[in-house]
């Protein structure tokens, strides 16, 4: 433009009023589209000009249409613009804009949009015979009447200020009309636009040079917000503290529970002396005969008593340190144990034991927890192969019932174990004997 005082600037979501003689933005090309393409509808409720506010979505479309090289469906775009113009009229009426101003604004908007579309490679086919101006005002070209209307409104700028500002925006967004084909038309249009900016400023007055008249107040509130801790941070901190307290109390409780279990186990209830019964005959081997290969390999040990059979699996070979997952090489052993248990009816109890080394982790609060988890792991693998898995039960006893003093690494290894105890049903001895004979 010829004068830096004749300009509009893209504001936060829309345009600011003309700046004749105030700010000094960088010079732009004459009557060309703005460099920044506005996005429709972002400032429809802002500003002091209700007519421009209502027309904002259509004004934003002018540079977008002008810069579009290809459009797949110009007819659809035209119908869309018709709908947008109807919505503009409704918004302006709702804002209390006089009908005469709405009609004049609609004429100018149709003219500006028609010119923007007609100057594109794809616009000539549709807009040549079905322009917006034809649809709403039954006229084919408004490039002359636009400036006649501007001249008439400028004679009473105070009464028509809102409409004059709308016409200014159309010019600032690149509308040229009759000046496109005149000699020295760009210079004449620059002078006209500059004069219009001065007219508007003489009525509207100077504007606030800052982008926001209240920018200091906004910054002050933003600075204050920086010191406000968000609610989610408080909740997360409370949960973290609660979790830490929970873990600490659980570990402390685990230390007391180990001592409590030991105290309970140390209680001895006097046993009643039953009447002397004749000595029982030596029991036939129920399980040991069936697991002879595993016993010989040192994977298990079996004790067949008169009223029970006990299979002992050493924890060092069965689990990794601190783990409850059975090592793969023991899977066939547990399968053989399950097959042996299938031969003899009765309840089966899987009991886990540890040495006296304290265990306090997030997962295992005490040795009792570790021994119980290991017993459950063994029970699960046997139950998968057992005909009647409801026979199985699992328990953890931690450091109780040591088989050797915990005074050396070798003795501690003996205490880390899992015992599988079979309590045969009455009359199952013959079944067990025949099963072992069949295994031979």
What is the full DSSP assignment across 135-154?
HHHS-S--TTHHHHHHHHHH
Asked which of 139, 173, 208 is the last residue of a domain, the reply is 208
- Look at residue 251 and tell me if it is in a domain: no
Q: What is the pLDDT of residue 2?
A: 42
pLDDT-derived band at 222 (thresholds 50, 70, 90) equals low
Q: State whether 187 and 301 are in the same domain.
A: no
Instruction: Choose among 163, 138, 136, 132: nearest CA to 150.
Output: 163
> Sign of torsion, CA 151 152 155 161?
negative
Looking up residue 313, the CATH number of its domain turns out to be 3.30.1330.60
Q: What is the pLDDT of residue 422?
A: 92
Q: What is the pLDDT of residue 196?
A: 92
Cα–Cα distance for residue pair 407/254, rounded to 1 Å: 23
| Predicted confidence (pLDDT) at residue 393 exceeds the cutoff of 90 | yes
Q: What is the pTM (predicted TM-score) of this model?
A: 0.41
Asked which of 208, 240, 261 is the last residue of a domain, the reply is 208
Could you give the angle at the alpha carbon of 345 between the alpha carbons of 341 and 347, nearest 5°?
Answer: 80
- Look at residue 264 and tell me if it is in a domain: no
Burial label, 32 (beta-carbon count in 10 A; 0-12, 13-18, 19+): middle
Least confident window among 39-43, 82-86, 311-315, 341-345: 39-43
| Predicted confidence (pLDDT) at residue 10 exceeds the cutoff of 50 | no
Kindly report the average pLDDT of the chain as a whole number: 78
Q: Are strands 346-353 and 392-396 parallel, antiparallel or unpaired?
A: parallel
Which has more pLDDT, 317 or 271?
Answer: 317
Q: What is the pLDDT of residue 34?
A: 38
Q: State whether 183 and 296 are in the same domain.
A: no
**Tokens for 23?**
């700010």
Alpha carbons within 13 A on the beta-carbon side of 64? 12
pLDDT digits 0-9 by tens, 225-256: 566 788 888 899 899 898 888 877 777 666 66
| Predicted confidence (pLDDT) at residue 431 exceeds the cutoff of 60 | no
Which has more pLDDT, 205 or 100?
Answer: 100
| Predicted confidence (pLDDT) at residue 29 exceeds the cutoff of 60 | no
Domain count for the chain: 2
**Tokens for 142?**
């408004």
User: What is the three-class DSSP state of 357?
Assistant: coil
Q: State whether 204 and 318 are in the same domain.
A: no
- Look at residue 248 and tell me if it is in a domain: no
Cα–Cα distance for residue pair 77/113, rounded to 1 Å: 11
pLDDT digits 0-9 by tens, 250-298: 776 666 666 666 666 566 556 555 555 555 554 555 688 888 888 888 8
| Predicted confidence (pLDDT) at residue 36 exceeds the cutoff of 90 | no
pLDDT-derived band at 377 (thresholds 50, 70, 90) equals very high
Task: Quickly list H helices, 39-73.
Answer: 50-66
Q: What is the pLDDT of residue 158?
A: 92
| Predicted confidence (pLDDT) at residue 41 exceeds the cutoff of 50 | no
In angstroms, what is the C-alpha Rg of the chain?
47
| Predicted confidence (pLDDT) at residue 165 exceeds the cutoff of 80 | yes
Q: State whether 300 and 166 are in the same domain.
A: no
Q: Are 393 and 347 in contact (CB under 8 A)?
A: yes
Which has more pLDDT, 307 or 263?
Answer: 307
End-to-end CA gap in the chain = 109
Cα–Cα distance for residue pair 339/332, rounded to 1 Å: 11
Cα–Cα distance for residue pair 131/79, rounded to 1 Å: 10
| Predicted confidence (pLDDT) at residue 168 exceeds the cutoff of 90 | yes
Q: What is the pLDDT of residue 257?
A: 66
Strand ranges in 263-364 using DSSP code E only, listed in sequence order: 300-304, 309-314, 346-353
Residue with tokens 């009359």: 427
Task: Report the share of the chain in percent with pLDDT over 90.
Answer: 32
Cα–Cα distance for residue pair 105/190, rounded to 1 Å: 21
Phi-psi region at 138: left, alpha or beta (left = phi > 0; alpha = psi -120 to 50): left
| Predicted confidence (pLDDT) at residue 104 exceeds the cutoff of 90 | yes
Strand ranges in 342-436 using DSSP code E only, listed in sequence order: 346-353, 392-396, 417-424
Q: State whether 300 and 200 are in the same domain.
A: no
Q: What is the pLDDT of residue 381?
A: 92
The mean pLDDT of 102-121, rounded to a whole number, is 91
Q: What is the pLDDT of residue 373?
A: 92
pLDDT-derived band at 129 (thresholds 50, 70, 90) equals confident
- Look at residue 434 and tell me if it is in a domain: yes
- Look at residue 337 and tell me if it is in a domain: yes
- Look at residue 231 and tell me if it is in a domain: no
Q: State whether 54 and 201 are in the same domain.
A: yes
- Look at residue 386 and tell me if it is in a domain: yes
Q: Are 393 and 350 in contact (CB under 8 A)?
A: yes
Cα–Cα distance for residue pair 224/216, rounded to 1 Å: 12
Asked which of 153, 173, 208 is the last residue of a domain, the reply is 208
Q: State whether 203 and 342 are in the same domain.
A: no
Q: Are 107 and 142 in contact (CB under 8 A)?
A: yes
Q: State whether 55 and 170 are in the same domain.
A: yes
The mean pLDDT of 326-333, rounded to a whole number, is 88
Residue with tokens 């001065």: 198
124 is in which domain, residue-wise? 10-208
Which has more pLDDT, 21 or 178?
Answer: 178
Q: State whether 328 and 195 are in the same domain.
A: no
Q: What is the pLDDT of residue 266?
A: 60
Q: Which range is most confident: 7-11, 37-41, 107-111, 183-187?
A: 107-111
**Tokens for 217?**
């107040």
| Predicted confidence (pLDDT) at residue 174 exceeds the cutoff of 70 | yes
Q: What is the pLDDT of residue 26?
A: 37
Q: What is the pLDDT of residue 156?
A: 93
- Look at residue 199 and tell me if it is in a domain: yes
Looking up residue 83, the CATH number of its domain turns out to be 1.25.40.590
Q: State whether 298 and 202 are in the same domain.
A: no
Q: Are 133 and 141 in contact (CB under 8 A)?
A: yes
């Amino acid at each position: 433009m010829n004068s830096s005082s004749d300009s509009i600037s893209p504001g936060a979501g829309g345009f600011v009023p003309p700046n004749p003689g105030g700010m000094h933005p960088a010079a732009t090309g004459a009557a060309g589209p703005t460099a920044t393409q506005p996005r429709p509808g972002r400032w429809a409720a802002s500003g002091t000009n209700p007519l421009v506010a209502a027309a904002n979505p259509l004004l934003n479309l002018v540079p977008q249409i002008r810069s579009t090289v290809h459009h797949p469906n110009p007819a659809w775009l035209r119908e869309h613009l018709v709908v947008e113009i109807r919505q503009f009229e409704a918004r302006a009426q709702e804002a209390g804009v006089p009908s005469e101003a709405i009609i004049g604004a609609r004429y100018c908007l149709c003219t500006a949009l028609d010119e923007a579309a007609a100057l594109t490679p794809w616009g000539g086919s549709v807009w040549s015979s079905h322009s917006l101006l034809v649809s709403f005002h039954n006229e084919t070209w408004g490039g002359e009447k636009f400036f006649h209307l501007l001249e008439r409104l400028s004679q009473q700028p105070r009464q028509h200020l809102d409409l004059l500002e709308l016409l200014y925006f159309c010019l600032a967004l690149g509308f040229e009309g009759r000046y496109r084909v005149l000699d020295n038309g760009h210079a004449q249009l620059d002078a006209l636009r500059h004069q219009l900016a001065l007219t508007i400023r003489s009525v509207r007055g100077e504007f606030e040079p800052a982008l926001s008249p209240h920018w200091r107040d906004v910054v002050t509130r933003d600075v204050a917000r920086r010191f406000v801790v968000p609610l989610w941070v408080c909740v997360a901190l409370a949960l973290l503290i609660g979790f830490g307290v929970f873990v600490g109390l659980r570990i402390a409780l685990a230390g007391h529970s180990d001592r409590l279990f030991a105290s309970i186990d140390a209680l001895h209830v006097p046993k009643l002396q039953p009447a002397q019964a004749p000595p029982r005959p030596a029991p036939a081997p129920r399980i040991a005969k069936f697991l002879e290969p595993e016993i010989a390999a040192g994977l298990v040990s079996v004790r067949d008593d008169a009223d029970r059979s006990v299979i002992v699996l050493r924890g060092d070979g069965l689990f990794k340190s601190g783990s409850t997952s059975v090592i793969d090489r023991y899977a066939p052993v547990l399968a053989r144990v399950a097959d042996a248990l299938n031969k003899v009816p009765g309840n089966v109890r899987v009991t886990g034991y540890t040495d006296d080394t304290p265990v306090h982790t997030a997962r295992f609060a005490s040795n009792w927890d570790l021994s119980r988890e290991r017993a459950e792991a063994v029970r699960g693998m046997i139950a998968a192969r057992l005909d009647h898995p409801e026979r199985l039960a699992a328990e953890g006893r931690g450091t109780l019932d040591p088989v050797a003093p915990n005074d050396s690494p070798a003795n501690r290894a003996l205490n880390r174990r899992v015992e599988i105890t079979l309590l045969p049903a009455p009359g199952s001895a013959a079944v067990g004997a025949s099963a072992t004979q069949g295994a031979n």
